[in-house]
């Protein structure tokens, strides 16, 4: 009963804050240049997470130099875009399923800020989506792609699709593996319950463009999946040796 009441409160507060944040972002999208718009997006994402009871800690294996980047991460729940948008250390836009762009208010916001719609089925439309993502890169905006293509049902990392890695090679991008740790405990696909807690955003070492050019698409896909999996596995090992309340160590 208590868990249901907590979830109901967090959903109610979250929806109110999301509405305010979404309207603020829409207004900013009409009035502000891209640099300042990204700051408003970051604020809005953090506000929504706060309302939902989601705290975020960021760990980086090394400072990110250069950019823009292609960030590649795992996909756990509906809060993932807010964590990535609110806490990645660069202005970012996401590649999201086309169906998200039909959601009330959220779809309007992500369309206005320049997120890229993509279909799950391969075809010409997927290539067109990556063309749009390439335009963002040319504007100096980093892109987040979740190559599992859907939220996990088990908490484990799923297989990666191929298209993002050809895209990165063609543009000569550095790819940064990232992982959301603890998100599955907070919200799971198929359940309306929200269990307030902490998500750890782990940001791994970039795979540099000169390294990427020597790899096949399949090798690159395997390498990035292993990098993301390693970021998740390190946290699993930490949790096995201590309580969930243990302070997360610095990876640097």
pLDDT in tens, 28-74: 999 988 878 999 999 999 999 999 999 999 999 998 988 899 999 99
**What per-residue confidence (pLDDT) applies to 125?**
67
Question: Mean pLDDT, to the nearest integer, of 163-170?
Answer: 81
Indicate the length of the chain as a whole number. 252
- The enclosing H or E element of 181 equals strand 174-181
pLDDT confidence bin for 122, thresholds 50/70/90? low
**What per-residue confidence (pLDDT) applies to 33?**
86
Dihedral in degrees, nearest 10, Cα atoms 205, 210, 212, 215: -130
Q: Which two tokens stand for residue 127?
A: 């290539």
Q: Which two tokens stand for residue 72?
A: 């590649």
Question: Mean pLDDT, to the nearest integer, of 205-230?
Answer: 92
**Residue 166: pLDDT above 70?**
yes
**Residue 143: pLDDT above 50?**
yes
What's the gap between Cα 227 and its chain centre?
16
- The enclosing H or E element of 201 equals strand 197-203
For a pLDDT cut of 70, what percent of the chain falls above it? 90
Determine the Cα–Cα distance for residues 233 and 181; give it in Å rounded to an integer: 9
pTM reported for the whole predicted model: 0.89
Query: 211: which residues sit within 8 A by CB, 6+ positions away?
Result: none
pLDDT confidence bin for 238, thresholds 50/70/90? very low
**What per-residue confidence (pLDDT) applies to 14?**
96
- List pLDDT tens digits, range 167-209: 888 888 899 999 999 999 999 999 999 999 999 999 999 999 8
For a pLDDT cut of 90, what percent of the chain falls above it? 66
């Amino acid at each position: 009963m208590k868990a249901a009441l907590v979830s109901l409160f967090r959903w109610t507060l979250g929806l109110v804050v999301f509405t305010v944040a979404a309207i603020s972002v829409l207004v900013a999208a009409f009035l502000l240049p891209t640099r300042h718009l990204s700051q408003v997006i970051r604020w809005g994402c953090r506000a929504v997470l706060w309302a939902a009871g989601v705290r975020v800690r960021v760990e980086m294996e090394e400072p990110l130099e250069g950019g823009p980047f292609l960030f590649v991460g795992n996909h756990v729940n509906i809060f993932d875009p807010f964590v990535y948008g609110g806490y990645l250390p660069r202005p970012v836009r996401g590649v999201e399923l086309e169906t998200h762009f039909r959601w009330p208010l959220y779809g309007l916001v992500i369309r206005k800020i320049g997120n890229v719609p993509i279909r799950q089925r391969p075809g010409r439309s997927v290539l067109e989506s990556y063309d749009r993502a390439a335009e963002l890169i040319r504007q100096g905006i980093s892109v987040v792609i979740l190559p599992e293509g859907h939220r996990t049902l088990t908490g484990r990392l799923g297989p990666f699709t191929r298209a993002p890695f050809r895209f990165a090679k063609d543009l000569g991008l550095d790819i940064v593996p990232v992982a959301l740790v603890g998100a599955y405990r907070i919200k799971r696909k198929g359940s309306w319950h929200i269990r307030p807690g902490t998500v750890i955003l782990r940001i791994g070492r970039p795979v540099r463009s000169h390294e990427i050019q020597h790899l096949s698409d399949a090798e690159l896909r395997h390498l990035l999946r292993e990098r993301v999996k390693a970021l998740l596995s390190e946290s699993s090992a930490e949790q096995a040796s201590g309580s969930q309340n243990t302070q997360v160590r610095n990876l640097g």
